[in-house]
Amino acid sequence: MNSANNRRYIILLHLLVWMMLLGFPYLLSGQSMEFTQLVKRSWIPMAMYALLFYANYVYIIPRFLFHNRLLQFIIINLVLVGLLLWFKQGVVNDLFIDSGPPQPGGTDRPRPPRGLFVYIDMLSLIVPIMFAVALSMADRWKKTEAIRNEAEKEKLQSELKHLKYQLQPHFFFNSLNNIYAMVDVSPGNAKKAIHNLSKLMRYFLYETNEEKVPLNKEIEFLNRYIDLMKLRFSDNTQVNTHFAADIPPVEVAPLLFIAIVENAFKHGVSATRPSVITFSLSVKPGEIVFTSDNKNYPKTSADKSGSGIGLENLKKRLELIYPNAHQLSTHIDEQDNYKLSLSITVNDTRQIVDE
């Protein structure tokens, strides 16, 4: 529908331009030009220009010039220009003999040589050809850019799907490892964890297919995952969450924060020492900030918490989804506390309020 409307708009624009070009000579002459002179000096040349322009724009340029047949393109246009010159200098001049008033004194002014008129007419006939070439090149460049942008968009969507499919088995693998560790120690918690995992996987499968999801859905998903992880660890591990209570109707790319949570549990929990992990999410006008704070315990060879692709996956997704609109930073202080912060710029700030 848009293409049809655009085509009608272009046709209407061409008609208006030609109507203006045909009417200007008559209006500029103060409506005193004789009809025969108007036809000879304005309408017939305009018709010749239109013939050359549309013959090139519609057929000759796409068929020959754009298919690297430059010699044929030049020959065809030379023949057309020659025929139109013959028509104007011969047929038109014979049909419309200049019948202007005699010059004072009974003698006409000396006329310029005929060859000068031929030269001027030839140059004037080349102009619509050049204009057709320029317009065709512009149209071709626009179409090429549109195709290139579409290809880039398809490539982006393909890469995002690949990263998402990579994230799902990674998440599922980590969760199963956590449940496996609970089976012998706490079968009741293992059953509860399996039930929670089924809800998480339902979110994975059915609610993350869109480009953006409501932020409150992402927070609900994170809370369930954190509850699942808590079942695995003893009272020696304390998990604090400070998520914004009043979540505005903001949308974000799905599954952005889960890699940060996984990373904190993977590196921030010790089997022998007390561990504290803190997650925070704040929503400011035009910005969402997610942070994690935990101890940086080295990962042992016996740790089967995953292959470490989570944060790398997150960095790639951020570059694709939020180019120049995100900031991801990490820092380890002197007390060996690992701090990670992710800031995302959001477009719709009309309903975003401070906490």
Strands 213-214 and 287-295: unpaired
In a domain, 299, yes or no: yes
- The residue that leads in pLDDT, 347 or 223, is 223
312 and 239 inside one domain:
yes
134 and 237 inside one domain:
no
140 and 264 inside one domain:
no
In this structure, what DSSP letter does residue 58 have?
Answer: I
In a domain, 232, yes or no: yes
* Cα angle: 47, vertex 48, 50; to 5 degrees: 65
* Cα angle: 51, vertex 28, 20; to 5 degrees: 40
94 and 227 inside one domain:
no
The pLDDT value given to residue 231: 74
In a domain, 353, yes or no: no
- The residue that leads in pLDDT, 313 or 26, is 313
For residue 1, pLDDT beyond 50: no
* Cα angle: 30, vertex 32, 35; to 5 degrees: 125
The DSSP string of 290-334 is EEEEEE-PPPPTT--S--S-HHHHHHHHHHHHSTTSEEEEEEE-T
The pLDDT value given to residue 225: 85
Round the average pLDDT of the chain to a whole number and report it.
Answer: 77
Query: Among the listed ranges 134-138, 186-190, 320-324, which one has the minimum average pLDDT value?
Result: 186-190
Contacts of 72 (CB under 8 A, 6+ apart): 64
253 and 337 inside one domain:
yes
344 and 287 Cβ atoms separated by less than 8 Å = yes
Locate 47 and state its tokens.
Answer: 């018709």
Collapsing DSSP to helix, strand or coil, 120 comes out as helix
In this structure, what DSSP letter does residue 112 have?
Answer: P
Q: Hey, what amino acid is at 102? A: P
305-321 mean pLDDT: 74
Separation of alpha carbons 275 and 238, rounded Å = 6
In a domain, 169, yes or no: no
95 and 87 Cβ atoms separated by less than 8 Å = no
How many structural domains is the chain composed of? 2
Q: Give tens-digit pLDDT for 52-77.
A: 988 998 899 999 998 888 999 999 99
In a domain, 174, yes or no: no
- The residue that leads in pLDDT, 99 or 200, is 200
Tokens 């331009």 locate to: 17
Locate 270 and state its tokens.
Answer: 């010790």
The pLDDT value given to residue 193: 79
In a domain, 133, yes or no: yes
- Rg over alpha carbons for the chain, rounded to the nearest Å, is 37
Contacts of 253 (CB under 8 A, 6+ apart): 211, 212, 213, 317, 321, 322
Beta carbons within 10 angstroms of residue 221's beta carbon: 22
Beta carbons within 10 angstroms of residue 6's beta carbon: 10
**Which ranges constitute the DSSP H helices of the chain?**
2-28, 35-38, 44-54, 61-63, 70-86, 93-95, 114-183, 187-206, 215-232, 258-267, 310-321
The pLDDT value given to residue 99: 45
Residue in 321, 297, 173 with CA at minimum distance from that of residue 342: 321
The model's confidence at residue 349, banded by pLDDT at 50, 70 and 90, is very low
In a domain, 309, yes or no: yes
191 and 337 inside one domain:
yes
203 and 134 inside one domain:
no
% residues pLDDT > 90 (the chain): 14
The model's confidence at residue 169, banded by pLDDT at 50, 70 and 90, is low
The model's confidence at residue 122, banded by pLDDT at 50, 70 and 90, is confident
Burial 32-57 (b: 16+ CB within 10 A, else e): ebeeebebbbbebbbebbeebbebbb
192 and 70 inside one domain:
no
Q: Give tens-digit pLDDT for 196-249.
A: 778 777 877 777 777 888 998 889 889 988 888 887 777 788 899 999 888 888
Owning domain of residue 195: 185-345
237 and 341 inside one domain:
yes
Beta carbons within 10 angstroms of residue 173's beta carbon: 14
Q: Give tens-digit pLDDT for 123-153.
A: 888 888 998 899 889 988 888 888 787 767 6
* Cα angle: 81, vertex 82, 84; to 5 degrees: 65
- Domain with residue 278: its CATH number is 3.30.565.10
71 and 133 inside one domain:
yes
275 and 130 inside one domain:
no
The model's confidence at residue 159, banded by pLDDT at 50, 70 and 90, is low
In a domain, 161, yes or no: no
214 and 116 inside one domain:
no
- The residue that leads in pLDDT, 90 or 241, is 241
